[in-house]
A and B are shown apart, each in its own frame.
Chain A
Amino acid sequence: MSEELLYWQALNRAMDAELAADASVFTLGEDVGLYGGSYRVTEGLYAKYGEWRVRDTPISENSFTGLGVGAALAGLRPVVEIMTINFMLLALDSIINAAAKIPFMSGGQFSMPLVVRVPGGVAHQLGAQHSQRLEYTLMNVPGLRVAVPSTPQDAYWQLRQAIVSDEPIIVLEHELLYFSKGPVDVLAEAPPMHRALVRREGHDLTIVSYSRHAVLSQEAAVELSKEGIEAEVIDLRSLKPIDWDTCAASLAKTHRMLVVEEDCRFAGAGAEIVATLTERCFDSLDAPVQRLAGLDISTPFNGALEAATIPRVPDIVAGARALCRPAQGSNAGTKSAPSPKSTSTGEAAAGVAQATTAAPKTAPLETAGAPKAPAAAAGKGVPVPAAKPAAAPAKTKDA
C-alpha cells in the first residue's frame, strides 16, 4: 500500500491528515499559507482549511512561536513552522523559557501540545547564517522532545505523532532531505516516535547517526561491505529522548561504535551519545566509541570548503575502517584485530574531513541505492530513500 513520495510531500500529507482529523490543529509561520511554504510542506492547505488554520505570519519568530505557546495553553494544537533553524535563535525564548517550562512551572496544570517544525542543516552554499544545526541547543533543554526524521516515511509518521502528542516537540527537518524520495505507507502502523531503527544489519561495527547523515551512513555501509566490513547502521530518529537500548544491543554484538553527525563536534549531540554509551556499555567495547562530526567552524560559502566542514561518505568509510582496522589504515580487505589503545579514529576522522578539502566533491547522495533491506527494529524494513541533492535554498519551489 505504499507509494513513492518526496520528503516534503510526506510532511504535507501528515499535515493534511491532522488538520482534517482535528479542528484544534492549525499551522502558522512565514509564508506557510498563500505561498505554500518555503519547502512546499504546507502546499494546498491554505485553500483547503482557510486562513485561521493555515496562518501566514509577519516575520516575528519569537512572537509567533509564543503565539503557538499561548494557543496550546488554550487547548489548540499549533504546528509552528520556523522557516529555518537559524531564525529559531530568535524564538528560543518562546521555546525554552515558555514552551518547555510552563507545564512544569504550573505544577502540571497545563499541557503543551505544541509542534515546532524547523528546516536546518548545511544545504548548498547558503552561507554561515543559513547553514547551521542547533540540535545540541535543544537537546539540553529539559521538557522538550526532538525528532529527526530521515526518510519520507518517518517524516510522515513522526510529524503525525508529534501533532497528536500533548508535549512540546521540535521536528528537525534537513533541508537536503526535502526532495529525497522514498516509500510512504500511510496505513502502516508506526513505530514509537522516539525508537531508533536499525537500517542495516552488520557485525563489525555500529554506526549511529540521525537525519541526513543516517542516509549517508547507509551509503558508507555499502562501500564498507565491498571491503569486507559489515557495518550495522542505526538511525536514531530522535535526539530526545534517545533509544539507548537499541544502541546498546547493537554494541553488544559489534563491540565498536562510530557516531556520525553533521553538527559541530564540540559539545554536540555526538558527545552525549558517546558519553552515555561509553558509561553504559564499557564492558562491551573493544575500542573507544568514536565521533565523526562537523568541524567547529562557521560554514564557509565556498562550495568545496563547505563540503569539507561536514562528514561525507568517504569520511564515514575511512572512520569506520580505522575503527575496525586501526593497524591497517585504509588497507581494505585485510582483517586485523583492533586494539582499543591504538585507535584514534575520532581525530583521524576529523582529520579526514579536513584533509579532503581539495578532493573532488563526491556526490554521495546520488549513489544511494537501496542497500541491504534492513531488518528494522520495528520490522518495517524501511528502505533507504534515494536522496537527491536538490539545490533547496529557502524559497526554492522546484525539486
Chain B
Amino acid sequence: MERDTLHRLLRDMLLARAFEERAAEEYTKGNIVGFLHLYPGEEAVGAGIINAAGPSDYIVSTYREHAHALMRGTPARKVMAELFGRATGMSGGMGGSMHMFDSKLRFMGGYAIVGESCPIALGIAYAVAMRGLPEAVICFFGDGAVNQGTFHESLNMAGLWRLPLLFVCENNHYAIGTEIHRHSAVVEVFKRAAAYNIPAEKVDGMDVQKVYEAARRALDRIRSGGGPQFIECDTYRYGGHSMADPGSYRPAVEVKAQKAWDPISAAIREVEYPTRAVLAEVGPDNIGQMTAHMVEAGHLAEADVEALKKEVQAIVEDAAQFALQSPQPTMEAAWAHMNCNRHHEVLI
C-alpha cells in the first residue's frame, strides 16, 4: 500500500474517532440534541471504502454518517455545525445528525429510514448507466437493512440491469438492539447477494487496509463493466445504537473482546515504527536496513502518530468552537427550502 494512502486512512480514522468523541461530549452538554448515532469501532469501514472512491463517484449513506462525510472531505466545521443545527451546517441546520448532504462532493445524503439508501443509490446508478459515464455509486447500509424489502428489490434491479453500484454492508451485528442471529435466518450477509447474481465478498471490517483493497477491487470491476458488487464488512460499534441507547443488551465480555480489535489501534500497530525494544531484538546490524524499508513503506514514528492525534484534536476543537459560535438558521430559510415552488414557476 502506498505511503500516502496508509497515512490518509489512519488520519481519517483518527479524525472520525476524535470527532465522534467530541460529539458525544457536546451531546451531554446539551449543545447537540435529538438522535445521535456514533461511529467508533466502525472507522475502518468508512475510511477504507470512501478512500477507494474517486471524486466523481457518489456516496449514499445512512443515519450513522458523520464520519462518512468527514472522510469524503466535508470540513469538520460544517459537519459539527450541522450536529448543532446551525445555519453554517452542511445542510443549513435543516437536516441534522441523520440527514447530511454535500452536493459538491457527491455526498448524496444520510437517510434515517433503514434500507432507504438502497433505492436512492439504485436511482443514481441508473442515471450513471443511462448516461454511460465511468462513475460508480457507493451505497452504505447496516445489517439491519438487509431484512427490508428495499434491500432485496434494489439488489434485484441492480443485478438485472448491471448498474455501477457498490453495496457496502456495515455489519455491526446489531439491528438496533437485536443481534444478527436473532434477526436473520442467514447471518452471512454477503451470501444474500448471490440470489441476485451480484459478486460479493466478506472482509474484516476492523482492518482498514483489507477494506480499502476490497473496495478498490470492487470499484475496478464496476468500472470495467462488471456490474454491481457487494462487500460485507464485519465490524462492531463500541457504543449503543445512539446516544439514547446504553447498549446494555450486549454482553460486557463481547464489547470488551471487540474493543481489543480496535481498528485504529490495529492500524497504528501496522504503521508505527518499531520501538527501541523491538529494534534491540532485531539487532544493531539490521536497524539501518529495516528503518529504510519501513520509512519507504510508510511507517510512522511514535511521535508522528502523536502529532497526527494532536492535529485531529485541533480540527475537532476548532469545529466545535465554530459550531457553537455559528448563527441559528431562520424560519425564512426553512420556508425557502420547503416551498414547493423553489424555482419560481407561475403556479396559479
Contact = CB atoms under 8 A, between A and B. Distances in A.
B91 to A, nearest CB: 4
A104 B337 contact: yes
A105 B108 CA distance: 11
Given A62-B150, A94-B119, A109-B91, A143 B157 contact: no
Contacts of A109: 91, 101-103
Output the residue of A26, A68, A94, A105 with the most chain B CB within 10 A: A105
B92 interface: yes
Contact of A75 (B102, B122, B127, B337): B127
Interface in B90-124: 90-95, 99, 101-103, 108-109, 111, 113, 116, 118-124
Given A67-B126, A94-B119, A98-B120, A60 B338 contact: no
Interface string A142-178: 1111000000000000000000011110000000000
Contacts of A57: 157
B277 interface: no
Output the residue of A103, A109, A145, A193 with the most chain B CB within 10 A: A109
B103 A70 contact: no
A166 B113 CA distance: 24
B159 to A, nearest CB: 11
B103 A63 contact: no
A104 B94 contact: yes
Interface in A178-202: 192-196
Interface stretch (B13-21, B167-175, B339-347): B339-347
A102 interface: yes
Interface string A88-109: 0000011001100011111111
A51 B100 CA distance: 34
Nearest to A59: B153
A74 B123 contact: yes
Nearest to A193: B347
A58 to B, nearest CB: 6
Nearest to B82: A107
A65 interface: yes
A111 B342 CA distance: 9
Interface string A50-81: 00110001101011111111111111101000
Nearest to B96: A105
Contacts of A53: 130
A62 B103 contact: no
B336 interface: yes
Nearest to B98: A105
Contact of A71 (B95, B116, B127, B337): B127
A66 B337 contact: no
B99 A74 contact: no
Contacts of B347: 192-195, 241
Contact of B91 (A52, A94, A98, A106): A106
B58 A74 contact: yes
B195 interface: no
Contacts of B337: 103-104, 107-108
Output the residue of A69, A74, A108, A166 with the most chain B CB within 10 A: A74
A347 interface: no
Given A60-B156, A105-B91, A106-B91, A71 B340 contact: no
Interface in A251-272: none
B160 interface: yes
A71 B101 contact: no
B122 A97 contact: no
A87 B153 CA distance: 15
Contacts of B99: 105-106
B306 to A, nearest CB: 37
B153 A70 contact: no
Interface string B225-242: 000000000000000000
Contact of B127 (A74, A108, A111, A245): A74
B51 interface: no
A70 B117 CA distance: 9
A63 B122 contact: yes
Interface string A226-264: 000000000000001101011000000000000000000
Contacts of A136: none
B30 to A, nearest CB: 23
A107 B127 contact: no
A107 B92 contact: yes
B62 interface: no
A72 B123 contact: yes
A301 interface: no
A243 to B, nearest CB: 5
Interface in B127-148: 127-130
Nearest to A114: B123
A167 B122 CA distance: 20
Given A58-B156, A97-B116, A66 B91 contact: no
B274 to A, nearest CB: 47
B115 to A, nearest CB: 9
B154 interface: yes
Given A67-B122, A107-B101, 13 more contacts: A60-B156, A63-B118, A63-B119, A63-B122, A64-B119, A66-B120, A73-B124, A74-B128, A76-B127, A93-B113, A106-B94, A194-B347, A195-B348
Interface of B: 58, 60, 89-95, 99, 101-103, 108-109, 111, 113, 116, 118-130, 149-150, 153-154, 156-157, 160, 333-334, 336-338, 340-343, 345-348
Interface of A: 26, 52-53, 57-58, 60, 62-76, 78, 93-94, 97-98, 102-111, 142-145, 165-168, 192-196, 240-241, 243, 245-246
8 contacts: A60-B149, A69-B120, A75-B127, A107-B333, A107-B337, A108-B342, A109-B91, A192-B345
Sorted from nearest, which 6 A-B pairs have the closest CB atoms?
A70-B123, A66-B119, A107-B92, A63-B153, A74-B127, A60-B153
